[in-house]
Amino acid sequence: MPKDTLDSLPRPPQDLSGGPEKLRAAIGFIDSMMSEMDGLVGRVAPQPHHRIASHVMAAYLDGRMVTPSSAVAASGVPYATATRRLAELIDDGLIEQRAKTRTGKSFTLHPSAELIDRFGQFADRLPRLADENLRPADGGTDYYFGGSYRASQVIGPVVPLAQPLGLSGGLQVLVHGDPTFLAMSNLKRQFEQIVGSPIHQRAFSIDRLREEALRDATRKTSRYDIIAIDLPWIGEFASRGVLSPLDEIMQVDRLDPSDFHTAGWQAAHWGGRPYGVPNQTTPELLFWRTDLFAEAGLTAPQDCDAVLVAAEALHAPARGRYGIAWNAARGTALGHQFMMTCAGFGQPVLDLPKVAGGFGAMSLADRNSRPMFDQPRALEAAEYLMELLRFSPPDILSMSWYERIRRYAAGSVAMAYGYTLLAPYFDCNPTSPAHGATGFLPHPSGSGAPNVAPVGGYVLGIPANIAPERREAAVEALIVFTSAAAQKQVVMEGSRSQPRYSVGADPEVRALSPIFEAVDAMSWRDELQFWPRPPVPAITSIIQACGEELHDMLRRIVTPREALGRVQARAEAALTQD
């Protein structure tokens, strides 16, 4: 092949939403369905736009060259018509032309970023559409994209590595101190036998975890082989060279990317590259006491107005019961809470583009962003938090992640915003009044916005400064820890957070708690979203600004409008300095 044609060849994608295989399956479905439709009534009605776009996408995935003539031939319509349809796709910005030779007289065709994104979104929605429209007549909930989860599909035990890792000093892991990582710690002996190496796990609180990870990145050689990263840190850690891009050090397909909840897998990326593997995909939900609601004649609170009505009705301080608990402690805790509350009102905290299912946060590495705290819906979200104060425990302004769930588990609050990873406090505790009497909802919405379940949790990554001789072993351990079999084992040990569809659908897992079916249903409805906390490098500073200025608002030192003005200014400064 002449040298001047090499650059015009399409490059197979290193990573795409849901994985290339998922996209190939979606394209095959489109082609097969159109062929079936052509013969349905005996009159061929080709769809040239779709056929051309599908042909270009398929070639892109396979790394093949597409010429205008081959695209026209794939259209299924006469040459003149096909040429016009191709020109329309080019004008719409869905297909790009690139010079094939130095003369510029011939071109190759390539899908634009927008077309790739559209196909990715379709591939994500396709299983849900099949589930909604092809579900068996008996309404069974075990239906999954044309099949069902039967006993034969129970995930088996973790298979030990054929070759033990044999790491000098054992495998060093830096994690967050939460119930999921505690469950992994309880399984330490089993995992050591599986990987063939001692495992040493250090656990920190969220702020100390970030500090230790950044401190470790300044060392000549990392002290850790694997580190846990909170999802919003991905942009910062990738930009600062803290993490190794996974596509440089391993075959990403070995992770079975299409099995991860879409939002969790997408959130592990920066600049289109994966920097971690989801170990927890834990949405923040509204937990509510189904028994107390039934006694009071209340229904599930689907929107913020209903939350306030229920909180007032169930607020009984004289009896030691309060309406609702949430993150209102100054700093990180309140910062996260406010950003997720903004999402409930349909307001992203940055000027993200609208896409199907919400807002797009996959291209943040390629664009400048503007904070959006000066918007009317952000003000509504702030005012909503002010209203919640009326029905919250008296120490709400010092309440954060664990305190709010401990109160809910103890029965002293009727509702609580909380991550599923903390659900074991009541879901695994038969003595808790909330045990077996809890409903799980995405964030109730405000201003008519769609329901959103903001995704949190941690991914596991490999430090960029890991000793080269340890990298291969760290990759093998990473694959084991994040496998479906290992994740199921952690769930059976008491975790209520799982990042994989297959684990959430395992019959043995589903028998443990209704939380798994609830979260899977939210994923199919596109309610699991990671855009509420967009992972730009400055996100930690923005979260801190929210948590400090909004705390002054809750203490009534400043008005909601004044607090948001201060957050807007601090966020703009943080993004400028980044």
pLDDT of residue 103: 63
Backbone phi, psi, residue 176, to 5°: -95, 145
Instruction: Supply 137's token pair.
Output: 């007549």
CB 200 within 8 A of CB 173: yes
Which of 274, 278, 261 lies closest to 180, judged by CA? Answer: 278
Neighbouring C-beta atoms of residue 544, cutoff 10 Å? 18
User: H or E segment at 288?
Assistant: strand 282-289
CB 342 within 8 A of CB 351: no
CB 575 within 8 A of CB 367: no
In this structure, the chain runs to a length of: 578
Locate tokens 């200025």: which residue? 549
Say which DSSP state 243 is in.
B
pLDDT of residue 147: 41
Say which DSSP state 421 is in.
G
Residues linked to residue 321 through DSSP beta bridges, in sequence order:
316
Q: pLDDT by residue (tens digit) across 368-378? A: 999 999 999 99
CB 338 within 8 A of CB 209: no
pLDDT of residue 118: 80
Which of 17, 466, 483 lies closest to 273, judged by CA? Answer: 17
Q: Is 366 exposed, middle or buried (0-12, 13-18, 19+ CB in 10 A)?
A: exposed
Phi-psi sector, 153: left (phi>0), alpha (psi -120 to 50), beta: alpha
Q: Is 109 exposed, middle or buried (0-12, 13-18, 19+ CB in 10 A)?
A: buried
Give the Cα separation of 551 and 420 in Å (integer).
Answer: 25
Q: pLDDT by residue (tens digit) across 480-497? A: 999 999 999 999 989 998
**Rg for the chain, CA atoms, rounded:** 25
pLDDT in tens, the chain (578 residues): 333 333 333 444 444 444 566 677 777 777 777 666 655 555 555 788 888 988 888 877 766 778 888 888 887 778 888 788 899 999 888 888 877 666 666 788 888 877 887 887 777 677 666 665 665 555 554 444 444 443 337 899 998 998 999 899 999 999 998 877 888 888 889 999 999 999 999 999 889 999 999 999 999 999 999 999 999 999 999 999 999 999 999 999 999 999 999 899 999 999 999 999 999 899 999 999 999 999 999 999 999 999 999 999 999 999 999 999 999 999 999 999 999 999 999 999 999 999 877 899 988 988 899 999 999 999 999 999 999 999 999 999 999 999 999 999 999 999 999 999 999 999 999 999 999 999 999 999 999 999 999 999 999 999 999 999 999 999 999 999 999 999 999 999 899 988 999 999 899 999 999 999 999 889 888 899 999 999 999 999 999 999 999 999 999 999 999 999 999 999 999 999 86
DSSP state string for 186-237: HTHHHHHHHHTS-EEEEEE-HHHHHHHHHHHHTSSS-S-SEEEEEGGGHHHH
pLDDT of residue 39: 56
Q: pLDDT by residue (tens digit) across 399-453? A: 999 999 999 999 999 999 999 999 999 999 999 999 999 999 999 999 999 999 9
Instruction: Supply 253's token pair.
Output: 């397909």
- Strand ranges for 86-218 from DSSP E: 95-99, 107-111, 143-144, 147-148, 171-176, 199-204
Distance from the Cα of residue 83 to its chain's centroid: 40
